[in-house]
Amino acid sequence: MPSQNFIPKPIRNFFRMRVSPTSLQFRLTLELVTLSAIGVSAVAFWAGWQMEQNLVTSHKQLLEYVAMRFPEQAEMYSEGKTVEVSLERTIDKLSTSGVSIWVQEPDGKILSKSSGINMPSTEIVNAITQTEAPAKPRIFQFGDRYIVLCGNPLTVSGKLVGKVYLSSNSKFKNLGGVGCQIRF
């Protein structure tokens, strides 16, 4: 057996030892490893879930803040300017990456909207404007995407301009049934 000469004796003895699955030491070790794996998995699952809940909450709070400030900003920018110009300026100031804002007149025409990649697809905008958007931010599912959405009536200088919609695009994986589903 020339191949055994290359393997050191302590290693050969280690592999010759047999472990009895009925021994107390084996069963206790297996139990400890199993409980440790379950505990670590549970903590990892909880941390991921908690982080997703915090992310959802922060998106909702951001939209609430923007929705609260939008009418006063539009009023401030409307002094001496047309409503369209004041809305464009307000939207440019308040929209951030991931936050889309658009204003729709009562007849359904979009008066002003965020520019660039902030805006959701036209299909999503049409689906949103055909439904009753809540005043407080809520989560809606559009196909395989989730967005946080709210919509409020907008008056500038005492005149009803239309409805302002705010949405936050998110890539939430699974919200556990939170929110609503809109199919189109």
Tens-place pLDDT, residues 3-42 = 556 777 777 776 666 667 788 988 999 999 999 999 999 9
Is the separation of the CB atoms in 168 and 99 below 8 Å?
A: yes
Q: What is the tens place of the pLDDT at every residue in 109-151?
A: 888 888 765 566 677 677 776 777 788 888 877 777 778 888 8
pLDDT on residue 105: 86
Is the separation of the CB atoms in 147 and 181 below 8 Å?
A: no
pLDDT averaged over every residue in the chain: 79
